[in-house]
Structure 1
Amino acid sequence: MGNTSSMLTQYDIEEVQVHCNHTFSQQEIVSLYQRFCQLDRSNGGFISADEFLSVPEFAVNPLSQRLLRMLYGLNFKEFVAFLSAFSPRASLHQKIEFIFKVYDSDSNGKVTFNDMLDVLRDLTGHFISEQEREQVLTDVLEEAGYTKDSLILLADFVKVLGNSDLKLEVEVPVD
């Protein structure tokens, strides 16, 4: 499975299904593998930053640079696990964990005010001022019971978002 020029075996498909908690059907995994192979133009078994940025929807995403840090060097099995948060069959906890990882850019298990401010900056660009961004974030944190000095953990994300109806889904076309 490391070399994208090889075909997926039934064992490979089942192994990927287990690795991604059965969030994708076998047909969806085959479709994702075909797409992975199309993107892996160098046939290196992983998709480079340039190859990811060749996908227009990814390139224009304001969080693309953050996502690239999460995607860099992933093989096919890890790629599917990454995408599993976008499956309609993914649990709310899996979706929240993905969102937490987007904010936790240094992967230390903690999200700071500045981490959240960086994401907000990526999302808003020049549409609002830095002072407005800081005020909005301060207000949101206070409403959730946190301060600018709070270190937010995954459990905090779960507590705040655990009752939400997150629609973090992408349809995988199946041939």
Structure 2
Amino acid sequence: MGNTSSMLTQYDIEEVQEHCNHAFSQQEIVSLYHRFCQLDRSGSGFISSDEFLSVPEFAVNPLSQRLLRMLDGLNFKEFVAFLSAFSSRTTLQQKIEFIFKVYDLEFNGKVSFNDIMSVLRDLTGSFMTEQQRQKALTHVFEEAGFSQDTSLSVADFIKVLGSSDLKMEVEVPVD
């Protein structure tokens, strides 16, 4: 499975399904494999940052640089596991854990007020002033029972977002 020029075996498909908690059907995994092979222009069995940035929708995403930290050098199994956060079969908790990783800039299991401000800057650009962002985020923190000095854990994220109607899904086209 490391060499993208080879085809997936039934064993490979089942192994990938198991690795991503059955977030995708076997047909979807085969489709994802074809897409992975298209992205892996070098044929190395891994997708580089530059190869990810060749996807126009990804390149224009305001969070693309944050996502690249999680993506650079993924093999096929890791690629599917990454995408599983966007599957309709993935639990809300798994989606929240994924979002937490995007916000955890230092990979230390903690998200600070400033980490969230940084993401908010990326998302809002010039549509909000720094003062508006600060006020909005302070309000959200206070409503959730946190202060600006609080470092949030993944459990805190789950507590805050766990009752939300979070929609984070993409459909995998099946050939």
Give the TM-score of the pair, scaled to structure 2: 0.98
> 1:48 is matched with which residue?
48
Deviation at 1:127, TM superposition (A): 1.6
Q: Do structure 1's residue 170 and structure 2's residue 170 form an aligned pair?
A: yes
In the TM superposition, what are the counterparts of 1:10-25 in structure 2 within 5 Å?
Answer: 10-25=10-25
Percent of pairs with identical residues: 78
Matching residue's letter, 1:162: G
SS at match of 1:33: helix
Structure 1: which 4+ aligned runs deviate by more than 6 Å? none
Deviations, residues 8-47 of structure 1 (Å, cap 9, x unaligned): 1100000000000000000000000000000000011111
Task: Show the counterpart of 2:154.
Answer: 154
Residue 141 of structure 1: aligned partner = 141
Structure 1 residue 153: Cα displacement: 0.3
Partner of 1:98: 98
State the Cα distance separating 1:164 from its structure 2 match. Answer: 1.4
Residue 7 (str. 1) matches residue 7 (str. 2): yes
Q: TM-score, normalised by structure 1?
A: 0.98
Helix, strand or coil for the counterpart of 1:24? coil
Give how far 1:120 is off.
Answer: 0.1
* Structure 2: distance between partners of 1:105 and 1:174: 34
Indicate the larger mover: 76-85 or 126-135: 126-135
C-alpha distance in 2 between matches for 1:32 and 1:106: 30
Q: Partners in 2 of 1:105 and 1:86 — Cα distance?
A: 21
1:78-97 equivalences under 5 Å are: 78-97=78-97
How far the C-alpha of 1:165 sits from its partner, in A, is 1.6
Aligned AA for 1:96?
A: I
Q: What secondary structure is seen at the aligned counterpart in 1 of 2:127? A: coil
User: Take 1:60 and 1:11, find their aligned partners in 2: how far apart are those partners?
Assistant: 36
Aligned to 1:32: 32
- Equivalent AA in structure 1 for residue 124 of structure 2: T
3-state SS of the aligned residue for 1:126?
helix
Q: Which runs of 5+ in 1 are unaligned?
A: none
Query: What is the RMSD of the two structures over their aligned residues, measured on CA atoms?
Result: 0.7
1:76 equivalenced with 2:73 (yes/no):
no
Distance 1:86 1:46 in 2: 20
Q: Tell me which moved more, 80-89 or 46-55.
A: 46-55
Mapped to 1, the partners of 2:134 and 2:69 lie a distance apart of 24
